[in-house]
Amino acid sequence: MPDLDSPATYAAHDLRGMLAHITGLPEQCERAWLESAGISFPEAFRKVTGVLILGLGGSAIGGDLLRCLIADECPVPVVLHRDYGLPGWVSERTLVLACSYSGNTEETLSAFGAAANAGARLFAMTTGGRLLQRARELGAVCYCYHYEAQPRAALGYSLMTLLRVMDRLGLVRDKSGEVAEAVTVMRSWLTEIGPEVAVTNNAAKALATRLYRRLPVIYGAEHLAEVARRWKGQFNENSKSWAVFDVAPELAHNTIAGYQSPARLAPLAHTVVLTAPSLHPRVQARLQFARELLSSRGFASEAVEGRGQSRLAQALSLVLFGDLVSYYLSLLYGVDPWEIANIDAMKRRMGAA
**257-296 positions binding its own copies, by CB under 8 A:** 257-262, 264-265, 268-269, 280, 282-283, 285-286, 289-290, 293
Q: How far apart are CA 309 and CA 276, in angstroms?
A: 9
> CA angle, corner 287, sides to 283 and 292, nearest 5?
145
DSSP letter for each residue of 175-204: -HHHHHHHHHHHHHHHHHHSTTS-GGG-HH
DSSP secondary structure code for residue 46 in this structure: G
Sites for its own copies among residues 89-128 (CB under 8 A): 89, 91, 106-107
Sites for its own copies among residues 157-216 (CB under 8 A): 212-215
Q: Quick one: which of 40, 42, 200, 353 contacts its own copies (CB under 8 A)?
A: 353
- State the amino acid at position 119 in one-letter form: G
14 versus 237: smaller Cβ distance to its own copies = 237
Interaction mask 56-95, its own copies, x per CB under 8 A: xxx-x---------xxxxxxxx-x--xxxx-xxx-x----
> CA angle, corner 278, sides to 307 and 248, nearest 5?
105
To its own copies, the closest distance from the beta carbon of 186 in angstroms equals 23
19 versus 252: smaller Cβ distance to its own copies = 252
Q: List the one residue out of 260, 36, 266 whose CA is nearest residue 167.
A: 36
Sites for its own copies among residues 315-334 (CB under 8 A): 333
86 versus 122: smaller Cβ distance to its own copies = 86
Q: Which stretch binds its own copies (CB under 8 A): 4-12, 39-47, 49-57, 135-143?
A: 49-57
- State the amino acid at position 118 in one-letter form: A
Q: Quick one: which of 117, 253, 295, 302 contacts its own copies (CB under 8 A)?
A: 253
38 versus 281: smaller Cβ distance to its own copies = 281
Residue 11, H or E segment: helix 7-13
- Count of residues that interact with its own copies, criterion CB under 8 A: 79
DSSP secondary structure code for residue 95 in this structure: E
Q: Which stretch binds its own copies (CB under 8 A): 34-42, 155-163, 184-192, 252-260?
A: 252-260
Q: List the one residue out of 138, 145, 101 whose CA is nearest residue 122.
A: 138
Q: Quick one: which of 232, 291, 307, 311 contacts its own copies (CB under 8 A)?
A: 232
Quick check: 134 and 142 in contact, CB under 8 A?
no
Q: Quick one: which of 244, 278, 303, 305 contacts its own copies (CB under 8 A)?
A: 244
Q: Give CA 351 to chain center in angstroms.
A: 27
Q: How far apart are CA 283 and CA 94, in angstroms?
A: 33
